[in-house]
């Protein structure tokens, strides 16, 4: 489904989530040589999450008539930055 053709807010949000999850999977698969690390990163970053930040970046691009492809890098970076902050917040070493 194209982001431009999303009939409702729910459909738009779902399309954005699927798009950014696919981009994250692609980035992990291309750059991480270890299967074990790749599986762990994929599990932690792709499974679950509402992806509000990437949705807002796609909505912003659409609001000004931009191409969703232009917002892909920003959306992916926002999702991964948020994932990083959540994952590292749970590390015991971060409590001290």
Per-residue pLDDT tens for 44-95?
Answer: 787 777 889 999 999 999 889 988 899 999 999 998 888 877 777 776 766 6
* Predicted local distance difference test score (pLDDT) of residue 96: 58
* Predicted local distance difference test score (pLDDT) of residue 56: 94
* Predicted local distance difference test score (pLDDT) of residue 6: 60
* Predicted local distance difference test score (pLDDT) of residue 88: 73
- Residue 41 CA to residue 14 CA, distance in Å, equals 22
Can you tell me whether residue 28 is helix, strand or coil?
helix
CB 39 within 8 A of CB 70: no
Q: For residue 51, how many C-alpha atoms fall within 13 Å in the half-sphere facing its CB?
A: 28
Taking 90 as the threshold, does the pLDDT of residue 29 lie above it?
Answer: no
Looking at the whole model, is its pTM more than 0.95? no
């Amino acid at each position: 489904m194209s982001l431009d053709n999303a009939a409702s807010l729910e459909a738009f949000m779902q399309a954005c989530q699927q798009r950014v999850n696919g981009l994250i999977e692609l980035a992990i698969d291309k750059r991480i040589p270890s299967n074990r690390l790749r599986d762990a990163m994929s599990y932690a970053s792709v499974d679950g999450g509402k992806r509000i930040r990437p949705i807002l970046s796609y909505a912003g691009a659409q609001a000004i008539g931009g191409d969703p492809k232009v917002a892909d890098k920003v959306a992916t970076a926002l999702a991964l930055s948020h994932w990083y902050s959540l994952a590292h917040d749970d590390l015991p070493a971060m409590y001290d």
